[in-house]
Amino acid sequence: MNHAEFDACIEACNACALACDRCASACLKEDDVNMMADCIASNIDCAEICRVAAVFMARGSDLASAVCQACATVCDACADECGKHQAQHCQDCAQACMRCAQECRRMAGAGPASATSGAHAGAH
């Protein structure tokens, strides 16, 4: 896969990371910060894996598909958590996470088969 084929997913990952950063920052300013603790933690996890996935894709790493699959899982969890809150920053973040998860699944499906990767993982 050439680098241009990663562009939409890299863009979605970067947008999601920024949305998560904004959401975490806004959640920290909410009246009941303790109620937002799970949301903030989820935002931090999601932003980090989105950045990692973007870097793996930008380098054309052979492991980009595996990282994208993990990123989709984390994005789904973050979207679920943010979706529980009515604040606009949480709703915006949930939307960015859903888009990123969709793009990451598309990329993960375009990479090496996970069965092949898994077979070699135990051999090292």
pLDDT tens string 86-111: 999 999 999 999 999 999 999 998 65
Given this model, what pLDDT does residue 114 score? 39
C-alpha span between 100 and 68 (Å, rounded): 9
Enter the CATH code of domain 3-111.
1.20.1270.360
Query: H helices of the chain, where?
Result: 7-27, 37-59, 64-83, 88-110, 114-121
Residues in CB range of 40: below 8 A, 6 or more apart: 24, 27, 28, 33
Residue 114, Cβ density class (10 Å: 0-12 exposed, 13-18 middle, ≥19 buried): middle
Question: How high is the mean pLDDT of the chain?
Answer: 88
C-alpha span between 7 and 49 (Å, rounded): 17
**pTM score:** 0.85
Q: Closest Cα partner for 82 from 51, 49, 36? A: 36
Place of tokens 């809150």: 85
